[in-house]
C-alpha cells in the first residue's frame, strides 16, 4: 500500500513537472486542454471535406478556393464573440453556456454534412458552421487561458500557452495519417459522423470549469470601454502600420485548391498517401516552431520577415518541378518529391508564421491585451479570405479547372511572386531598437491563437 502510494505521488509529480510544464492537473486545466485537443483532432475530416467537395459535389478548384475564403469569416470576427461572452451572460455564466453551444453546433454541423448536404451552397453553410463552432470555443478557452496567465509567476510565463499549443498539435498528429487511412476504408459520410463525436467532448467539459455566477444582464459600460480602448490603440501608427504589413503580405493569392485537384486528378495521389503527407507536415510544423524558438525568436522583425518572404517565395517555386514533371527527369518519384517538398515548405512556413504571433502579442498595450490580440488575429485571418478569393479569381482567369492544368505553372508563379510585394513595406515594422524597448516593457503575453488552417479544413 505504501509503495503504491509513493508510486502514485511520483507519477503525479512527473505529470506536473514534465508533461504539464509545472501546472497542477486541475479539472479546469484538463477541460481547457481537452478543448485544444479537439481543435487539433478535428483535422480528421480535412481530407474528407476536400474529396467531398471535389468528387461528391463536383466543385471546381476556383469554387473550392472561394468557399474556403468564406468559411474563414467566423475567425475574422472572433473579437465579437469575445465581447458577447464578456458582456452577455447566459443564466448568469459567461463561459459555460457558450462552450456548450459551440460543441453542440459543431456536432450538428458535421452530422449535417454527412446526412443533409447535397449542394455547394449547403456545404458552404455547414462548413462555415463547423468553423464558427471552433472559433467560439477558441475565444472562450483563450479567455480562460488569459485569466490563468495573469496569475502566473514570472518564471512560468508562456508555459501554459506552450502546453495548449502542444496539446492541439498532438490531436493533429494523431489524426493526420488517420484522415487518409479512414477514407480508404470508409465512406466520406462515415468520416463526418466519426468527426461529429468530438465536438460533444467540448460540450461536456464546461462542468469542469470553476466559474462564479455573474450578474445577469448586458454590461454595456464594459463593452463600450473595451471598444474605446481598442479604437485608440488601432489609430496609433506603431500598431496600424505593422498590422497593414501583415495584411498585405498574407492577402496575396494562393494556389492550394488547384494543386489539390492536380495532385489527385493528374498525379493520382490517393487519400492514404495524402494522409501521410499531412502527418509529415504536422511533424514539420512542430519542428518549425522549435527552430523558431531555438534560433530565430530574438531576430529583429524586419530581418526575419524580409528573409522569410524571399526564402518562402523561392522555395514555393519548387512546386513547379512537380507540376511540369521535371522531378521525373531528375529521377525523383512524384511521391517522394511531394513528401520532401511538403516537409521543407511547412518548416519554412511555420518559421515565417511564428513572428506574426509574436509581433501581434507585442503590439498589444496593457489593459486591452486579449481583446486587441483577438482583433489583430482577426485581421490576419481576413487576409486568408482575400487570399483564397484572389486565388479563385486567378484560377478562373487562367482557365485552371479540375481537368485543365495547362496554366497551373503560371498560377504558382504569380502566387509566389506576389508575396514579394510586401518587401518594400518592411520599414512599417518596428525597428530593432523599438523592438528591444517592446521586449523590455512586455508583461504576460496573451494566449496564442490556434489558427483556423491548423484545426479545420484547408
Burial (CB < 10 A; 0-12, 13-18, 19+), residue 208, is: middle
Q: What 3-state DSSP class applies to 90? A: strand
pLDDT at 453 over 60: no
Phi-psi region of 58 (alpha: psi -120 to 50; beta: other; left: phi over 0): left
Cα(439)–Cα(416) distance, integer angstroms: 32
Most confident among 150-154, 322-326, 409-413 (mean pLDDT): 409-413
Confidence of residue 160 (pLDDT cuts 50, 70, 90): low
When pLDDT is cut at 50, 70 and 90, the band that residue 424 belongs to is: very high
CA–CA distances in Å: residue 124 to residues 61, 73, 251? 14, 12, 21
Return the C-alpha cell found at 237: 501608427
- Helix H segments across 17-118? 27-41, 46-51, 61-70, 73-76, 78-87, 96-115
Residue of higher predicted confidence among 351 and 217:
351
Superfamily of domain 25-210+224-451: MFS general substrate transporter like domains (1.20.1250.20)
Count of residues in the chain? 458
90, β-bridge pairs? 93
**CA-closest candidate to residue 139, choices 358, 363, 378:** 378
Q: What percent of the chain has pLDDT over 70?
A: 80
pLDDT bin (cut points 50, 70, 90) of residue 154 is very low
For the chain, the domains span 25-210+224-451
93 backbone dihedrals φ, ψ, rounded to 5°: -120, 140
- Across 113-153, the runs of DSSP E, i.e. the strands, are none
At 269 the pLDDT is 86
Amino acid at each position: 500500500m505504501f509503495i503504491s502510494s509513493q508510486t502514485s505521488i511520483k507519477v503525479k509529480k512527473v505529470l506536473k513537472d514534465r508533461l504539464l510544464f509545472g501546472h497542477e492537473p486541475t479539472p479546469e486545466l484538463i477541460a481547457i486542454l481537452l478543448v485544444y485537443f479537439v481543435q487539433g483532432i478535428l483535422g480528421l475530416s480535412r481530407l474528407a471535406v476536400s474529396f467531398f467537395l471535389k468528387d461528391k459535389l463536383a466543385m471546381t478548384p476556383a469554387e473550392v478556393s472561394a468557399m474556403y475564403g468564406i468559411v474563414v469569416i467566423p475567425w475574422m470576427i472572433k473579437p465579437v464573440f469575445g465581447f458577447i461572452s464578456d458582456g452577455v451572460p447566459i443564466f448568469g455564466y459567461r463561459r459555460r453556456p457558450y462552450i456548450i453551444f459551440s460543441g453542440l453546433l459543431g456536432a450538428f454541423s458535421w452530422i449535417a454534412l454527412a446526412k443533409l448536404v447535397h449542394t455547394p451552397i449547403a456545404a458552404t453553410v455547414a462548413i462555415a458552421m463547423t468553423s464558427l463552432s471552433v472559433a467560439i470555443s477558441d475565444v472562450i478557452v483563450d479567455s480562460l487561458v488569459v485569466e490563468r496567465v495573469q496569475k502566473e509567476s514570472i518564471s512560468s510565463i508562456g508555459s501554459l500557452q506552450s502546453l495548449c499549443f502542444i496539446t492541439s498539435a498532438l490531436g493533429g498528429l494523431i489524426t493526420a495519417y488517420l484522415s487518409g487511412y479512414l477514407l480508404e476504408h470508409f465512406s466520406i459520410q462515415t468520416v463526418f459522423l466519426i468527426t461529429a463525436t468530438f465536438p460533444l467532448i467540448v460540450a461536456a467539459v464546461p462542468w469542469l470549469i470553476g466559474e462564479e455566477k455573474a450578474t445577469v444582464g448586458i454590461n454595456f459600460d464594459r463593452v463600450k470601454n473595451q471598444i474605446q480602448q481598442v479604437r485608440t490603440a488601432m489609430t496609433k501608427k506603431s500598431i496600424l502600420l505593422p498590422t497593414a504589413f501583415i495584411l498585405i503580405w498574407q492577402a496575396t493569392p494562393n494556389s492550394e485548391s488547384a494543386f489539390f485537384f492536380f495532385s489527385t486528378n493528374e498525379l493520382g495521389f490517393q487519400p492514404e498517401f495524402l494522409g501521410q503527407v499531412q502527418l509529415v507536415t504536422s511533424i514539420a510544423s512542430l519542428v518549425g516552431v522549435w527552430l523558431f524558438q531555438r534560433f530565430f525568436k530574438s531576430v529583429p522583425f524586419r530581418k526575419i520577415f524580409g528573409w522569410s518572404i524571399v526564402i518562402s517565395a523561392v522555395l514555393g517555386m519548387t512546386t513547379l518541378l512537380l507540376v511540369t514533371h521535371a522531378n521525373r527527369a531528375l529521377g525523383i518519384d512524384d511521391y517522394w518529391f511531394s513528401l520532401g517538398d511538403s516537409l521543407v515548405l511547412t518548416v519554412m512556413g511555420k518559421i515565417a508564421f511564428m513572428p506574426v504571433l509574436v509581433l501581434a502579442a507585442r503590439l498589444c498595450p496593457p489593459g486591452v491585451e486579449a481583446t486587441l490580440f483577438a482583433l489583430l488575429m482577426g485581421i490576419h485571418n481576413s487576409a486568408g479570405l482575400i487570399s483564397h478569393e484572389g486565388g479563385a479569381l486567378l484560377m478562373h482567369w487562367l482557365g485552371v479547372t479540375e481537368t485543365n492544368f495547362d496554366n497551373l505553372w503560371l498560377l504558382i508563379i504569380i502566387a509566389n511572386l506576389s508575396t514579394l510585394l510586401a518587401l518594400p513595406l518592411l520599414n512599417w515594422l518596428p525597428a530593432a531598437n523599438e523592438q528591444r524597448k517592446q521586449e523590455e516593457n512586455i508583461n504576460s503575453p496573451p494566449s496564442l491563437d490556434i489558427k483556423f488552417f491548423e484545426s479545420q479544413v484547408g
